[in-house]
Structure 1
Amino acid sequence: MAEWEQYQDVYCTMKEPPGNIYNAITSTLKSFLEDSSLRFLENSWYGYDLCPATWNYIFSLDLLCAQLGWTWTITNIIRKDLWLILNTWLRQARTEQTPFRDVCVAAVFRLLGMPWEVQLSVIYATHDLAPSNPEAALKTLESWRKNSTQPVPPAVIKCITQISFLCHQTKSQNSKKLL
């Protein structure tokens, strides 16, 4: 009992939790992005879902980030790492060797998209990045809209309409180039 009390006294006087949580987050994120075993699983309810190993990464990252708080997480993980993944993925052509696999991007969206407000932010960010790969952006947003359990705001519908128009315009321009 005395050892536990001594440990509690030392732990409570520390300014930071034991171990380096940031290193744990970055190594987990790196492992997640490099894990070639991650895949989608066909699911009768969801259509496709993430495999259990992917969910383990999501829950681990979520718990680790929760230790450092939302402000720290948005500044150091979301802005520096997760947006880079999403931006790179949206910009890559589907025929290119992809630096980030679709399953990893889907997991990033799930990691970001737990609260409704964050989901909406991701939707608007996808809209902003859509000119680099409008077809992928449209497919992503339409899928999200189809699976949304809450009423979709008019602004999201407008985003989807704009990206759809952009896809149509891009196809028209490509058709004219072929003639």
Structure 2
Amino acid sequence: MSGPLLVPDAALSRALVRTVPDAVTQRLSDFGNVPVAVPVLLLAVLYAARRGNRRGAAAAALAMVLVPALIVPLKEWTARPGPLEPWASGYFPSGHTATAYVAYVGAALLVRPYTRGRWPFLLAAALTALTATGLILRGYHWPLDVLASFLMCTPLLLGVKRATGRRRPR
């Protein structure tokens, strides 16, 4: 693989990997695991649907279903090796980052109309950022893997935002 961004990406990764103990970064990266992130979204989907926002709930569920449909083919096509496992492939883009981003921000979009303040988005941003940071610091992903996931999943979340709209709580 080659390209103008890969050299700075590798240099940044070398400077960051294992600067925090693995026990900490492993826990952070686990926020992007499907059994952790998807139930959060599922609870928000059920809550929003029960409150009458079935369109937003369906859009958020569809966004999560589309994550592997977008991510997996690109992983196979690029076959990018990992920072600490150059013999392995399929690291670009980061599926854990994509899962965390869509699950947590999707959940925030669904519950926000029924809450006060911006805490759902702050919590979603924190959980997603912690996941991405953990993945990079642990050496599971290059920084560009994480950035690509954010860029790829933002349109999905914009669709959820549009479907959710400005709903008044019941």
Same fold (TM over 0.5): no
> Greater CA radius of gyration, 1 or 2?
1
Greater share of residues in strand: 1
TM-score (norm 1): 0.28
TM-score (norm 2): 0.29
